[in-house]
């Protein structure tokens, strides 16, 4: 330790002297070497040299160790530490030398390296002292073990002697008071729950024997009653487990309440449907935990012991759940309520499916009823324009504008009808192995041409071998609708009062799930973002946030994803905008390897 502090002080003092003498990068090498030699002689240092950040020797004292090259043996990590610290020590494991390196402030990336030998006698004495301490500790450890062994032997002998004395005393006492001892033993056995114990009778016919006979009758009666109670409890427990198994197996939510409407027995499905762990709210009133259930009990007061099914809506994290719920009261023989049973099921998806089916039928009828007259209207307008435009002398421009408006609006209506027809008559997908990267690249290219004012950021690295089983036409439509929605969200941004809108940007990424079973295509934009209210209904037909939108884009995307065994996920962007994620089942490539690399994993 003293050698380390000494060499550290020498390094700092020598560095200070070099600064004091005005040594810098313009000083000649010979003068620096002379100064280093003077410092080495003054401080008794066998090694003093000046090196740069690569370890190259700039100058060294006359008595320094000679090197075959102009490179000092200093590890790069030591030089890195010297840039951050005042002094860094280097202690060699193969020689008796200790060195220190310190940064010289008057130089650019230059360091002072000093070294000193440690006296071998000191090292030898330290080694001897260490061996002596190890020997002492070894002897001390053995001494403690021997002492502990003897103490344990003495304690064991003492315990054995004590137990022998106690046993002998008990044997003598038992012979003297055996009848009373047997009754005491029997009472203790009964206290411990052993009702099968019987006091042995010696046949002498005295009062103690009569007492023993009465004790045996009492224990026999208690044993019979206990066995009957155990059988009844076992039956009740089996019924309870059977009931819990039934409740755990049903998909509907079931919550058992006590007479004060406190949560007593919820099943797992109830917690899953409500999105909260009801086990953590036991003994709390249900209407305080979930206030939306309060109208059920109002209906119960008017309708008797069973309420009518009631549809309630619960909002959790911006998502609205639609539940079909009812409550049933359990009555005792004396006319009091001893509990309630609340049952409910999630009908959100059912309602969505019903609305989808209804809208599909409406779209089919609209497409049929509107498309038929569109062609005659357009042909008539074109014929009027072609035949009578030259014959009209007054307001010829108005006539042309009117006919063009009719033709354009008929074309727009036809496009909307085509969307209705596409949604209503979505064909079954024809599955084939397709390269997802090529599909995404094609869709991005088309949108780039249509929206040149938007920057598209698509990382194509690592997705060449991502294979999915899909209908290429439908997936392409799905990708185009998603990218189109992102572009329209950017174009629908409101310009701030002070400042300009940033350039529209859409980022497309492809990643795999941690279990390597699914592949995700995420489309993120910096547009106006998703609405907070009724976000879950954005994928339903004719639900749109745009004034001229048809509300079919995301509905078609969701239908295609469901037909492909995938999923459509809507979420907010990291800073602003929105992210739409398409989740597809992943397929391995022909060689049996993973179809996408690890570095493209969702974890990254």
Whether 255 maps to a domain, the answer reads: no
Q: Distance (Å, rounded) from C-alpha 39 to C-alpha 9? A: 13
Please, how many CA atoms are within 13 Å of residue 260, restricted to the half-sphere of its CB? 6
| Angle of CA points 75, 78, 84, to nearest 5° | 155
The helix, strand and coil proportions of the chain, stated in percent and rounded to the nearest 5, come to: 50, 20, 30
Same domain as 494, residue 386: no
| Angle of CA points 4, 8, 9, to nearest 5° | 120
Whether 418 maps to a domain, the answer reads: yes
Q: Which pLDDT score is estimated for 310?
A: 82
Residue 600 pLDDT level (bands cut at 50, 70, 90): very low
Whether 530 maps to a domain, the answer reads: yes
Contact 552, 541 (CB under 8 A): yes
Query: What percent of the chain stands above pLDDT 90?
Result: 4
Same domain as 357, residue 299: no
Same domain as 479, residue 393: no
Same domain as 448, residue 371: no
Q: Which pLDDT score is estimated for 421?
A: 65
* pLDDT 10s digits, 516-537: 788 999 999 988 888 776 666 6
If one counts every other C-beta atom within 10 angstroms of the C-beta of residue 161, the result is: 10
Q: How far is CA 69 from the centre of its chain?
A: 56
The whole model's pTM is what?
0.43
Whether 107 maps to a domain, the answer reads: yes
Same domain as 409, residue 302: no
* pLDDT 10s digits, 414-443: 776 776 666 656 677 888 898 888 889 888
Same domain as 572, residue 457: yes
Same domain as 596, residue 456: yes
Q: Which pLDDT score is estimated for 548?
A: 58
Q: State which of 102, 118, 134 marks the end of a domain.
A: 118
Written as six digits, the tokens of 141 are 């450890």
Please, how many CA atoms are within 13 Å of residue 386, restricted to the half-sphere of its CB? 7
Q: State which of 325, 346, 367 marks the end of a domain.
A: 346
Whether 128 maps to a domain, the answer reads: no
Residue 161 pLDDT level (bands cut at 50, 70, 90): very high
Concatenated DSSP letters of 276-307: S-GGGGTTSBHHHH-GGGHHHHHHHHHHSSBP
Helix axes 553-563, 396-424, angle to 10 degrees: 20
Same domain as 471, residue 358: no
Same domain as 523, residue 407: no
- List the beta bridge partners of residue 313: 322
Written as six digits, the tokens of 452 are 């040149």
Average pLDDT over every residue of 246-271? 84
Contact 563, 573 (CB under 8 A): no
Same domain as 570, residue 456: yes
Q: State which of 283, 315, 346 marks the end of a domain.
A: 346
Is residue 451 pLDDT above 90, yes or no? no
- Greater pLDDT, 389 or 9: 9
Q: Which pLDDT score is estimated for 549?
A: 58
Calculate the dihedral angle through the C-alpha atoms of 447, 453, 457, 463, rounding to the nearest 10 degrees. 20
Q: For 502, which DSSP code? A: P
Q: Distance (Å, rounded) from C-alpha 275 to C-alpha 405? A: 53
Contact 268, 279 (CB under 8 A): no
Q: Give the C-alpha distances (Å, rounded to integers) separating 375 from 17, 371, 387, 410, 509.
A: 99, 7, 18, 8, 42
Average pLDDT over every residue of 192-219? 79
Same domain as 583, residue 443: yes
Q: Distance (Å, rounded) from C-alpha 285 to C-alpha 258? A: 9
Number of folded domains that form the chain: 4
Whether 456 maps to a domain, the answer reads: yes
Query: What percent of the chain stands above pLDDT 70?
Result: 79
Helix axes 178-191, 120-176, angle to 10 degrees: 120
Q: Give the C-alpha distances (Å, rounded to integers) separating 512 from 7, 246, 457, 506, 528.
A: 57, 38, 19, 20, 28
Residue 602 pLDDT level (bands cut at 50, 70, 90): very low
Whether 443 maps to a domain, the answer reads: yes
Same domain as 447, residue 397: no
Domain that holds residue 535: 432-600
Residue 147 pLDDT level (bands cut at 50, 70, 90): confident
* pLDDT 10s digits, 81-105: 888 787 888 876 555 678 888 888 7
Short-list 18, 101, 15, 100, CA closest to 52: 101
Is residue 49 pLDDT above 70, yes or no? yes
Q: Rounded to 5 degrees, what are φ and ψ at 168?
A: -65, -40
Whether 369 maps to a domain, the answer reads: yes
């Amino acid at each position: 330790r003293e050698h380390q502090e000494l060499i550290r002080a020498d390094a700092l003092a020598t560095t200070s002297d070099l600064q004091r003498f005005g040594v810098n990068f313009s000083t000649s090498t010979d003068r620096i070497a002379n100064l280093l030699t003077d410092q080495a002689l003054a401080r008794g240092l066998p090694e003093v040299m000046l090196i740069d950040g690569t370890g190259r020797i700039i100058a060294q004292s006359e008595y320094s160790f000679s090197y075959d090259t102009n490179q000092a043996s200093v590890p790069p990590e030591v030089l890195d530490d010297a840039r951050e610290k005042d002094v860094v020590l280097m202690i060699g494991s193969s020689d008796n030398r200790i060195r220190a390196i310190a940064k010289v402030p008057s130089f650019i990336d230059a360091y002072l390296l000093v070294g000193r030998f440690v006296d071998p006698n000191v090292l030898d004495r330290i080694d001897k002292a260490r061996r002596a301490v190890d020997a002492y500790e070894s002897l001390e450890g053995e001494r403690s073990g021997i002492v502990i062994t003897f103490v344990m032997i003495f304690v064991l002998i003492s315990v054995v002697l004590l137990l022998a004395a106690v046993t002998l005393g008990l044997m003598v006492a038992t012979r003297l008071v055996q009848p009373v001892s047997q009754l005491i033993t029997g009472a203790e056995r009964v206290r411990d729950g052993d009702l099968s114990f019987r006091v042995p009778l010696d046949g002498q016919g005295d009062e103690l024997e009569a007492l023993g006979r009465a004790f045996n009758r009492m224990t026999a009666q208690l044993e019979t009653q206990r066995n009957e109670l155990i059988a009844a409890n076992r039956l009740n427990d089996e019924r309870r487990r059977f009931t819990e198994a039934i409740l755990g197996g049903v998909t509907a939510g079931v919550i058992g309440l006590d007479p004060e409407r406190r949560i007593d027995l919820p099943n797992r499905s109830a917690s899953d449907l409500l999105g909260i762990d009801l086990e953590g709210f036991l003994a709390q009133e249900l209407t305080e935990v979930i206030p939306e259930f309060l109208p059920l009990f109002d209906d119960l007061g008017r309708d008797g012991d069973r309420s009518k099914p009631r549809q309630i809506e619960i909002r959790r994290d911006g998502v609205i759940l639609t539940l079909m719920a009812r409550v049933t009261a359990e009555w005792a023989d004396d006319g009091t309520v001893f509990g309630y049973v609340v049952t409910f099921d999630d009908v959100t998806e059912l309602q969505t499916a019903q609305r989808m089916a209804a809208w599909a039928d409406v779209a089919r009828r609209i497409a049929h009823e509107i498309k038929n007259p569109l062609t005659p209207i357009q042909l008539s307008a074109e014929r009027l324009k072609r035949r009578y435009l030259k014959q009209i002398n007054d307001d010829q421009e108005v006539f042309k504008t009117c006919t063009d408006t009719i033709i354009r609006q008929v074309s727009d209506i036809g496009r909307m009808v085509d969307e209705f027809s596409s949604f209503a008559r979505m064909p079954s997908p024809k599955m084939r192995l397709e390269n997802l990267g090529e599909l995404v690249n094609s869709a991005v290219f088309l949108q780039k041409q249509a929206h040149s004012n938007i920057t598209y950021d698509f990382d194509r690295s690592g997705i060449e071998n991502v294979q999915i089983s899909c209908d290429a036409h439908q997936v392409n439509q799905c990708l185009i609708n998603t990218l189109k929605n992102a572009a329209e969200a950017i174009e629908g941004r409101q310009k701030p009062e002070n400042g300009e809108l940033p350039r529209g940007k859409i980022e497309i990424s492809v990643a795999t799930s941690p279990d390597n079973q699914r592949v995700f295509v995420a489309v993120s934009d910096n547009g106006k973002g998703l609405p907070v209210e009724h976000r879950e209904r954005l994928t339903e037909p004719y639900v749109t946030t745009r004034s001229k939108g048809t509300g079919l884009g995301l509905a078609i995307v969701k239908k295609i994803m469901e037909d492909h065994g995938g999923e459509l996920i809507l979420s907010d962007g990291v800073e602003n905008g929105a992210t739409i994620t398409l989740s597809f089942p992943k397929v391995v490539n022909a060689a049996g390897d993973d179809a996408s690399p690890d570095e493209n994993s969702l974890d990254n």
